[in-house]
Amino acid sequence: MYQETIKRGGIAVVTGSANGVGRVAAIRFAQAGLDVVLADLSGDALNSALQEVRDAATPDAKVIAIPTDVSDAKSVNALADAVFAAGEVAVLMNNAGIARPCSSWAQADNWRQVIEVNLFGVLNCVQAFLPRMTEANRPAVVINTGSKQGFTNPPGNAGYNTSKAAVKTMSEMLVHELRIAEAPISVHLFVPGFTYTNMIASFMPEKPAAAWTSEQTVDYFLERMAAGDFYVLCPDNEVNPERDRRRLEWSMQDVILNRPALSRWHPDFKEEFHEFENLTEGSN
């Protein structure tokens, strides 16, 4: 579907495009010849991204920035109105996200902020754009940025994990509903690995050896999206696809085998998980 979308042209809308993978994705869409709308909070980062994407765009591509707060449905509806007034939507990339410290029984305000941006930000965009995208009945793609933390739930940030687990479920339901509606729109769940972004740079001034760059992560995703993958779990320099599969399999077995929740981090299962994770492919 992505290749058909590129051939037909149109507008790529990227939320959270001022920095990181959103900024790189906007560059790639502009390089492919799509018009691009960068949607993010107003400020120097958005202005800088706008100039960089314009510099990378093909001669005919139009690139604009529309300051948008994805947690505010009115702001997102205004974004959608402006985009559809300008043309047809080819790509909707719901990428905006934040991280705040969140424990299960504290930091309620942080919880609300994270859920409003990471979950309702995606929902607001889907509800503002999809009715008109389905009505247009043209090839298009929807990209929702998730997280491996929404699959395996590593301890440390209950609110962020919850928000990204919800994005995963929402994306799966969207695929099904579009299939039933026979809409020519594909959906893809973009799941970066350890990626060195501005968020990481704020507490790690130098890129860790294990991390991929935003460019590596986006290029891997675009390759897999073009191949038709829905789930795109991106590797990095430390975690390859086989290790990701092992971790996912172990997490699902917690349910199937009725082990303690998050047994991967339970001291009674530490050695068993280590052996399981390091099995070579096909050895079990």
Instruction: List Cα–Cα distances, 82 to 11, 77, 162, 262, in angstroms.
Output: 11, 9, 32, 44
Q: Is the Cβ–Cβ distance between 133 and 140 less than 8 Å?
A: yes
Neighbours of 194 (CB within 10 A): 17
Instruction: List Cα–Cα distances, 224 to 103, 204, 218, 255, in angstroms.
Output: 34, 29, 10, 29
Strands 195-196 and 212-213: parallel
Q: Which residue has the tokens 């949607």?
A: 39
- Token pair, residue 239, equals 């975690």
Q: Which residue has the tokens 């507490």?
A: 203
Q: Is the Cβ–Cβ distance between 147 and 166 less than 8 Å?
A: no
35-40 sheet: strands from edge to edge: 63-67, 35-40, 11-15, 89-94, 140-145, 185-191, 231-233
Is 160 considered catalytic here? yes
236 burial level (CB within 10 Å; 0-12, 13-18, 19+): buried
Report the alpha-carbon distance of residue 193 to residue 198 in Å, rounded: 15
Selecting among 2, 160, 196, 220, the annotated active-site residue is 160
Classified as helix, coil or strand, 213 is: strand
Q: Where in the sequence numbering do the catalytic residues fall? A: 160
